[in-house]
Amino acid sequence: MPKIFQPLDDFKVVELPEKQLPFWKIAGPGAILVGLSIGAGESVIWPFITAKYGGNMIWAAALGVFLQLWINFEVGRWTIATGETVYTGYNRIWRGFAPLFILLTVVGWIAPGWARTSGLALKALVLGPGGWGSDTFWTIVTFAGVVLILFGPKMIYNSVERTVEALVAIVTIGLILVAIAVGSMDTWKALGTGLINVGHIDPEIPVKDFFSALVFAGAGGTANLFYTFYLRDKNIGMGAQLPGLQNPLRSRAEKVPATGFLFEATEENHKRFTAWWQYVKKDQVLFFWALNTFTILLFIFGALAVLRPEVVKHGLAAVPQKGQLIYDEAQILGKIWGTAGQKIFLLVGVATLFGTQLALVDGVSRSISDIIYTNFRGAQNRDLSWWYLLIAGIWIVGGCVITFVMEQLNVSELGFLFNAAYMGGFAMAIYVPLTLYMNYRFLPDFAKPKRLSTVMMLIASCVYIGFAISSIVWEIKQLIGG
């Protein structure tokens, strides 16, 4: 083993904590993942694709969310059984996964498309798209809001959970009002047709764009892995054996173990694991799958209703201009339902995108700091919360700088978002089969994935690996053709 790596301790054998509280008193981790999921893919990428290619590929949005449900199950399985993050589990298989997942996280999320789009939506809500201030200025404003939420309260998780839950409520209620305002039987029929049109892919859409849209239906990329941190900080399963991440600016940091635990295969532990596993399934089915599918279909419904060729009579293009998709949709809605409709949709856009921005800064900072703290020699001389603060600070400053540079080069935020999804798809092609293998290799027999979970994870692996290979072939053809 190279000297740069810190040796990983073996699992400590302890009793699995008992689930004592009812579901609704410990709900929350799935809601944060929903806040992350109903972001750029739902409010920008899928409405854009719907406006450009029509609604015949809506089935792929529903499929993307459904496949990620099973991925999240397996991420949750590992964490409730061991208390470890999935990153630590991956590194028990091969130490090279530490730098690889840092690279995948950076490449996938470094271009802050969600933050820039959040800033644009806020600007449109307050002043309109032609109002004062550059993209960079409004991006800085939204990042300032992220800083206040992350580093204001003592416990970072509690602040993120409460904020995201409020934003999800705004988004859901707002989308229902929008659907009531613009809905028609023709639109509902188009939505239903697109859902059952399974397998249809518009011949004009590039493989890269379709792959990106499939990945960003749901959390996507390494964002699904953030679930491991939310379960730990909510004291779910074996996560109760570890302290939650504290704000280093507000409290004295607590030493966090770098590795986790396993339990003996006793009847009592079997019973306790089953109770926690039922919690994970309910958390993901109710919040991630049901609510996320509902909101993405409502966003697409709105796009089908207002982002179509018929809207040319209102003086707007059917496909919104880059940089003002949220505003264009809201402006069309305003012509149908007045100023109130316009403001409601802009508020939905701001809540959606800011929730994603907040959860991504938190999740990326947790991921990179956890990998560094656990795997590299000397890293544990500093507290985990110190690494979190450092990574978050670098990420926020870097996001503002990149937004400024891209704005000067006239590169749109849509390019940022499609790039994040595209890179995230390659990450999923790696970690989806890896997660399944990890759970089979290390967990006690009764905690291992059962037949249905195994089949669904194998299907998901084939989908992401297949599209990753197809995308590489497409890129090579583009190079040769160019």
- The C-alpha atoms of residue 78 and residue 86 are separated, in whole angstroms, by 7
- 214 residue type, one letter: L
CA nearest to 368, candidates 155, 105, 75, 72: 105
Whether the predicted model's global pTM rises above the 0.85 cut = yes
Residue 155 phi, psi dihedral angles, 5° rounding: -100, 120
Residue 466 phi, psi dihedral angles, 5° rounding: -60, -45
- The count of other CB atoms within 10 Å of the CB of residue 290 is 14
Asked if residues 149 and 130 have their Cβ atoms less than 8 Å apart, the reply is no
Asked if residues 355 and 36 have their Cβ atoms less than 8 Å apart, the reply is yes
- The C-alpha atoms of residue 390 and residue 384 are separated, in whole angstroms, by 10
Q: Report the pLDDT value the prediction gives residue 173, as an integer from 0 to 100.
A: 86
CA nearest to 217, candidates 63, 417, 427, 423: 63
Asked if residues 256 and 383 have their Cβ atoms less than 8 Å apart, the reply is yes
Contacts of 205 (CB under 8 A, 6+ apart): 49, 53, 57
* Residues comprising the chain, all counted: 482
| Burial (Cβ within 10 Å: 0-12, 13-18, ≥19) of residue 450 | exposed
Q: Report the half-sphere exposure of 34 (CA within 13 A, side-chain side).
A: 31
The 3-class SS string of the chain reads: CCCCECCCCCCEECCCCCCCCCHHHCCCHHHHHHHHHCCHHHHHHHHHHHHHHCCCCHHHHHHHHHHHHHHHHHHHHHHHHHCCCHHHHHHHHCCCHHHHHHHHHHHHHCCCHHHHHHHHHHHHHHCCCCCCCCHHHHHHHHHHHHHHHHHCCCEHHHHHHHHHHHHHHHHHHHHHHHHHHHCCHHHHHHHHHHHHCCCCCCCCCCHHHHHHHHHCCCCCHHHHHHHHHHHHHCCCHHHHHCCCCECCCCCCCCCCCCCCEECCCCHHHHHHHHHHHHHHHHHHHHHHHHHHHHHHHHHHHHHHHHCCHHHHHHCCCCCCCCCCHHHHHHHHHHHHHHHHHHHHHHHHHHHHHHHHHHHHHHHHHHHHHHHHHHHECCHHHCCHHHHHHHHHHHHHHHHHHHHHHHHHCCCCHHHHHHHHHHHHHHHHHHHHHHHHHHHHHHCCHHHCCCHHHHHHHHHHHHHHHHHHHHHHHHHHHHHHHC
Q: Report the pLDDT value the prediction gives residue 11, as an integer from 0 to 100.
A: 94
- The C-alpha atoms of residue 248 and residue 373 are separated, in whole angstroms, by 15
Q: Report the pLDDT value the prediction gives residue 427, as an integer from 0 to 100.
A: 93
- The C-alpha atoms of residue 284 and residue 265 are separated, in whole angstroms, by 26
Q: Distances in Å between the alpha carbon of 311 and those of 47, 192, 374?
A: 15, 21, 54
Q: Report the pLDDT value the prediction gives residue 2, as an integer from 0 to 100.
A: 67
Q: Distances in Å between the alpha carbon of 52 and those of 44, 84, 322?
A: 12, 43, 12
Q: Report the pLDDT value the prediction gives residue 41, as an integer from 0 to 100.
A: 62
Question: In tens digits, what is the pLDDT along the chain, a chain of 482 residues?
Answer: 568 999 999 999 999 999 999 999 998 899 888 888 876 566 777 877 887 888 889 999 999 999 999 999 999 999 999 999 999 999 999 999 999 999 999 988 887 777 888 888 888 888 876 778 888 999 999 999 999 999 988 888 888 989 988 988 888 888 888 777 777 788 889 899 999 999 899 988 888 888 888 888 888 889 999 999 999 999 999 998 888 788 887 766 667 787 899 999 999 999 999 999 999 999 999 999 999 999 889 888 877 877 654 443 344 444 555 445 566 667 766 766 667 777 777 888 888 889 888 999 999 999 999 999 999 999 999 999 999 999 999 999 999 999 898 888 877 666 666 677 778 889 999 999 999 999 999 999 999 999 999 999 999 999 999 988 988 888 888 888 75
- The C-alpha atoms of residue 220 and residue 289 are separated, in whole angstroms, by 13
CA nearest to 36, candidates 413, 420, 479, 423: 420
Q: Report the pLDDT value the prediction gives residue 322, as an integer from 0 to 100.
A: 47
